[in-house]
Structure 1
């Protein structure tokens, strides 16, 4: 009964069957994507947990009468979620964990209906207990944070924010946080930390190298930790790790075990979020319009010091330009010092070994 809690999960092989008019999830009109969105409305729920929550609801709604039918319905539901979400990395990890748990669940119930009820109970229990993983990780990270530590973090992460807030109750810390353009989620982290009284400064993404020699270590969250021991996180994490390595500064990642993902990228182009439009060049450009824009005096940088900038256009990326940029990137394991998880403090090699054992059902 504790398979899901122990993370000893096997992911069933084979691709999900396409959804058809006769699938179990659809017979009662259940919308797995809507259930996923409802779960995400809770600020404490991350995409992997939202995926587990929505698949748990799918089990409740399903008319499946055999384990084969139930697993097929769950695979169909997982495939639906992956297609509906632009960045499916986190939710895929959650789907893998839950479907593997269902596949290995002991068939000791008197009836299949009772078995499904027990699966639902275990799924709900796991999602409620998994939120507490961040508390354990925060306590583990505390041992590596000394008084008067200066920490650099990137974008916004629930587990990192909780770790920093916890450290603030015990030790004196100061935090640099990147703006994390284009969404600017670093400003959310800045607001939460400063509200708690932590000295905090926002750093331009392009100023990471400028500030690196002033920090003691880097602390980032994760979208997923992959089989290589590498990290998928908000774009910019990779370049931060490269700079930290060059400056001999530790680069620590915090990750709940439900973010461990059966994926082995070798480069940025291997990520599920990558597509041909990422950082592509437009097929056609209006040369005359471009020339006119460049010649426009409103765009010149020759503005006298102290003059009002209200006459200048706002220099922010357009939606089209944002869409041409990646949301996440991949950080190689050799750039990561340690991974703090609810299953312990692991080296990247240790993460790889743990994932191999996890997916081998050990």
Structure 2
């Protein structure tokens, strides 16, 4: 009986389900290392072709391919340039697998490095404000910071600043519709003792006068120096710029992605259905009022989940490879992929 065909997307999903701390780019790299282990390729050309095929499957299967695309791109570039002096191709494949797995282990330290870099940029007695409509918390310390939706690197950076950096601040959390991911941020920070309050996405401009800095995570930092992140990030950056408030992006270097969008509609997540006009016959069935969501599932499909923040709106990018300007991200990417 022949062995079942290797399903790279199934492996990718299994890796994410097994460890929720693993990001999509790292899960993609680990899935591609397993693809190498199952590949019958006998030459580098065949192996790279197999990896490109696996990456293509991941990108077309995932609902949001931006972040994992960065991991695929990084790993395939590494394999392509890896020195292979060994006459035994199987030995080379084993070494590539080992290197991929080691990179994934090392990458787990990225958020800790970013947390330490950010410490000096969170003033003592500052307030971090995330937005989310829930119950409000009246306690606040000194200055204020804003973030959007849910980001593991932002979460870890704020917890580190509060628990180990002796910083005292409060947080506003965006509601982050339609998924309400700000709730997750709110619950995590509140549990750690950080005062938080939650506001509507539409109240960002209203609250900006109270904010001293903005922190957001990222799906990917792009070659333009711009940012792909949860929808709403762009409008927050615009408001912060108008109010002369620093807008900081936190991103692991494996999220640096060689994509150069000129507008929102150049993002790989954009498709013809977004912002089109649906048939009126499917636009009238709301989800239960108790959910707080006035849109039907069909209507939500006509809205973007990710937007593009232009580089001129970003003050700094905090990464495990250093604190970079948006122009510095472009230079780093050119150097990383040209050797």
| CA distance, structure 1, for counterparts of residue 61 and residue 194 of structure 2 | 38
| CA distance, structure 1, for counterparts of residue 297 and residue 289 of structure 2 | 22
Listed as ranges, the gaps of 5+ residues in structure 1 are 1-25, 294-298, 300-309
Give the drift of 1:69.
Answer: 0.6
Q: 2:294 matched to which residue of 1? A: 316
| CA distance, structure 2, for counterparts of residue 182 and residue 311 of structure 1 | 14
Residues 28, 62 of structure 1: 8 Å contact kept: no
Give the drift of 1:316.
Answer: 2.6
1:68-126 CA deviation, whole Å, 9 max, x = no partner? Answer: 11000000000111111121111110000000000011112341111100000000011
Give the drift of 1:318.
Answer: 1.2
Give the drift of 1:313.
Answer: 9.7
| CA distance, structure 1, for counterparts of residue 299 and residue 27 of structure 2 | 29
| CA distance, structure 2, for counterparts of residue 339 and residue 185 of structure 1 | 22
Query: Does 1:119 find its partner at 2:113?
Result: no
Q: 2:154 matched to which residue of 1? A: 160
> Which of 31, 48, 55 matches 2:7?
31
Question: Equivalences for 1:341-360 in 2 at 5 Å?
Answer: 341-360=319-338
> Which of 249, 255, 266 matches 2:245?
249
| CA distance, structure 2, for counterparts of residue 313 and residue 190 of structure 1 | 18
Give the drift of 1:324.
Answer: 1.0
Residue 143 of structure 1 aligns to a residue in which SS? Answer: helix
- Cα-Cα RMSD: 2.1
Residues 175, 183 of structure 2: 8 Å contact kept: yes
| CA distance, structure 1, for counterparts of residue 118 and residue 185 of structure 2 | 18
Question: Equivalences for 1:266-305 in 2 at 5 Å?
Answer: 266-285=262-281
Give the drift of 1:227.
Answer: 0.8
1:125-161 CA deviation, whole Å, 9 max, x = no partner? Answer: 1111101100000000111011121211000001000
Q: 1:83 matched to which residue of 2? A: 60
| CA distance, structure 2, for counterparts of residue 240 and residue 128 of structure 1 | 33
> Which of 315, 333, 337 matches 2:315?
337
Q: 1:193 matched to which residue of 2? A: 189
Question: Equivalences for 1:211-250 in 2 at 5 Å?
Answer: 211-250=207-246
Q: 1:51 matched to which residue of 2? A: 28
> Runs ≥4 in structure 1, deviation > 6 angstroms?
310-313
| CA distance, structure 1, for counterparts of residue 3 and residue 118 of structure 2 | 47
Residue 170 of structure 2 aligns to a residue in which SS? Answer: strand
> Which of 81, 98, 108 matches 2:85?
108
When normalised by structure 2's length, the TM-score is 0.90
| CA distance, structure 1, for counterparts of residue 280 and residue 174 of structure 2 | 34
Listed as ranges, the gaps of 5+ residues in structure 2 are 127-143
When normalised by structure 1's length, the TM-score is 0.84
1:248-305 CA deviation, whole Å, 9 max, x = no partner? Answer: 000000000000000000100101010110021114449xx97xx9xxxxx9xxxxxx
The count of residues paired between Structure 1 and Structure 2 equals 317
Higher Cα radius of gyration = 1
1:232-256 CA deviation, whole Å, 9 max, x = no partner? Answer: 0000000000000000000000000
Say if 1:232 and 1:313 are closer, same or farther in 2 by CA, change over 3 A.
Answer: closer
Ranked by relative contact order (alpha carbons within 8 Å, sequence separation 6 or more), the top structure is 1
Residue 222 of structure 1 aligns to a residue in which SS? Answer: coil
> Which of 190, 204, 207 matches 2:203?
207
Give the drift of 1:358.
Answer: 1.5
| CA distance, structure 1, for counterparts of residue 279 and residue 100 of structure 2 | 48
Residues 55, 74 of structure 1: 8 Å contact kept: yes
| CA distance, structure 1, for counterparts of residue 161 and residue 312 of structure 2 | 27
